[in-house]
Amino acid sequence: MKRKLLVTLLTTAMTISMLAGCGSTASTEATTPAADTAAEETAAPAEETADAADSTASTDPVTLKVFSNLPDRKNGQGLIEQMVIDEYLAANPNVTIEVEALDEEAYKTKFKAYAMDGMPDVVSIWGQPSFLDDVLNAGVLAELNEADYADYGFVSGSLDGFKKDGKLYGLPRNTDIMAFYYNQKMFEDNGWKVPATYDELLALADDINAAGIVPVAMDGGDGWPMAIYLTDLIVKINGTHGDIVSEAIANADFANPVFKQATELFAQSAQAGLFQTGYDSQDYATAMNLFTNGQAAMFYMGSWESSMALNQDISEDIRTNIRAFTMPVVDGGKGKATDIAAWNGGGYAVSASSEVKEEAIKFLNYLYQPDKLSKYGWENGVGMSAQDQTAYMSGSETELQKQFMDILNNATSVSGTPINDCGPSVFKTVMESEIQNASNGTTSAEDFLTSIGNACK
């Protein structure tokens, strides 16, 4: 009974069209009932594996270079990626796979260096203008045949961000939702409640600070989580996100009062002590460790970190008590609690200049067989893939997974690509460094908006 309920929930969840691009506004539309296709999909992989075994039995040794943004190969998504690679190697003894993995910022830097001349065969990419526009213009990614993926169960709309002129160049790995992770036990012990409005969040932060604990651990050393925070606030203030952001970027003008309001609200929160001391210079791991070691009550990060609940490095009384809530509503804002910051971001692609392109695409397709990345990801609590995962519901999911599923299921709209990734890479670079100044009060909201506007020209 419980399983059936979950299946239904997830099926509905998947009917929400996820937006990858920035231009269009999210809407709820019906797609092919996922339950029907589920049966076909489970059949498909078996055939393909057989094919793979046939075709490789007699071939020469092949070395595939995989460049990944998941350096932690023992937890979360990196573990899943490694599991599928190991399986592929076992099924294709003639293949050797060399993985080079760097964390996100270092990855993106190195990716651009690679993009100049010759890339590894299979690479992590982001289906977002800031990253992909330049990459596709340079023609460094191989075109994929969209028809190949008809029965892979990709969520409707999730491929859009990976296309240029109707041609497909990459596949999405995740459906990402931004949220506040919180320590439920700590909340209960102190009598704190999940805030329903933004004012409540700020009041809660004061209480938590008074108890000598950090309210929200924020990875502010990298600018992007703060940019997503801004996206979250824009959604809550304006009701929609993609439309006004793409307009502002196209016109290089962020004069729309929504931006000013969101920026000021963000800066006020930061200066009122919502985040840890020195948040604007601390990195991802530092922020996360504050939370996972009980030094912070909350952690603002994406649903891809829901595998925290199963990470053995985190002490049990903390990891089993991690829950999540999305950005609370802002007073007078048009956005409802169910209008959320979510998008399809990261994924994989194949290098156009790869000397073993065929093998690389074969490996890519293997990764995306619904019973590989997507299934293992679900079973290991990593978060939601961009594919239909209903077939793998077991009822033994972590509370966090169920929560995220509910959030997605109940969503009335999604933001699409976060603001920093909607413009060219110059815009992204300027925004991610200037938002630090705006948050800590070094520059005013107006100056911040002027400078990111100038970066679009």
Partner 1 sequence: MQKLYSNKLVIFSLVLPGLLVFLFAILAPICLSVYYGFTSYSGMGQAEWIGWENYKTLLRDANFGRSLTNSLLLAIGFIFIQHPIAIIVAAVLDKLQGKAEGVFRCIYFIPNVISVAVIAYLWKFIYNPDFGLLNNALRALGYQGKINWFSNDTAIWSVLVVLIWHGFGWGMLIYYTGIKNIDPVLYEAASIDGADQVSTFLRITLPLMKPVIQVNVTMAIISALKQMETVYLLTNGGPGNSTQFAANYLYQQAFKAFRYGYGNAIGVVFIIICLLVTVFLNKIFADRQPA
Partner 2 sequence: MKEKKTIGSAVKRTFLWVILIAVAVVQVFPLIWLLDFSLASSNEMFTTGLLIIPKKIQWGNYVKAFVDGHFLLYLKNSILINGLAVLLVIFISIMAAFACKRMKWKLAGAVKTLLLIGMMIPIHATLLPNYKIYNAIDLTDTIWALLIPYVAFSLPQGLFLMTSFLEAVPVELEEAAVVDGCGIYRIVFGIVTPLLKPSIATVAIMTFLNNWNEFIMASTYLSSPKWKTLPFSVLEFTGQYSSNYAVQFAVMSLTAAPAVIVYILLNKHITKGVAMGAVKG
Give contact residues for partner 2 (rule: CB under 8 A): 67, 71-75, 98, 100-103, 106, 110, 113-114, 116-118, 120, 284-285, 288-289, 292-295, 311, 313-315
* Interacting partner of 86 out of partner 2, partner 1, none (Cβ under 5 to 8 A depending on kind): none
Nearer to partner 2, 75 or 231 (CB): 75
Contact indicator for 233, 265 with CB cutoff of 8 Å = yes
The bridge status of strand 122-126 relative to strand 346-350 is: antiparallel
List the one residue from 230, 270, 443, 445 that touches partner 1 (CB under 8 A): 443
Answer yes or no whether residue 110 interacts with partner 1 by CB under 8 A. yes
* Interacting partner of 149 out of partner 2, partner 1, none (Cβ under 5 to 8 A depending on kind): none
Side chain identity, residue 344: N
Answer yes or no whether residue 282 interacts with partner 1 by CB under 8 A. yes
List the one residue from 437, 444, 446, 450 that touches partner 1 (CB under 8 A): 437
* Interacting partner of 446 out of partner 1, partner 2, none (Cβ under 5 to 8 A depending on kind): none
Rounded distance between C-alpha atoms, residue 29 and residue 7, angstroms: 19
Nearer to partner 1, 256 or 286 (CB): 286
Answer yes or no whether residue 170 interacts with partner 1 by CB under 8 A. no
Region near partner 1 per CB under 8 A, out of 238-246, 336-344, 386-394, 429-437: 429-437
Answer yes or no whether residue 165 interacts with partner 1 by CB under 8 A. no
Contacts of residue 409, Cβ cutoff 8 Å, sequence gap at least 6: 9, 10, 12, 13, 16
Answer yes or no whether residue 140 interacts with partner 1 by CB under 8 A. yes
Rounded distance between C-alpha atoms, residue 376 and residue 371, angstroms: 7
Nearer to partner 1, 19 or 456 (CB): 456
Contact indicator for 360, 170 with CB cutoff of 8 Å = no
Answer yes or no whether residue 137 interacts with partner 1 by CB under 8 A. yes
Residue 454 φ/ψ region, left for φ over 0, alpha for ψ in the -120 to 50 degree band, beta for the rest: alpha
Q: How far is the CB of 124 from partner 1 (least distance, A)?
A: 16
Contacts of residue 248, Cβ cutoff 8 Å, sequence gap at least 6: 254, 256, 259, 453, 456
Query: Which residues face 177 on adjacent strands?
Result: 342
Three-state secondary-structure class, residue 62: strand
Provide the b/e sequence for 358-370 (b: ≥16 CB within 10 Å): ebbbbbbbbbbbb
Rounded distance between C-alpha atoms, residue 227 and residue 246, angstroms: 15
* Interacting partner of 120 out of partner 2, partner 1, none (Cβ under 5 to 8 A depending on kind): partner 2
- According to DSSP, residue 208 is labeled H
Binding site for partner 1 (CB under 8 A): 105, 108-110, 112-113, 115-116, 134-135, 137-140, 214, 220-221, 276-278, 280-282, 286, 290, 295, 424-426, 428-430, 433-434, 436-437, 440, 442-443
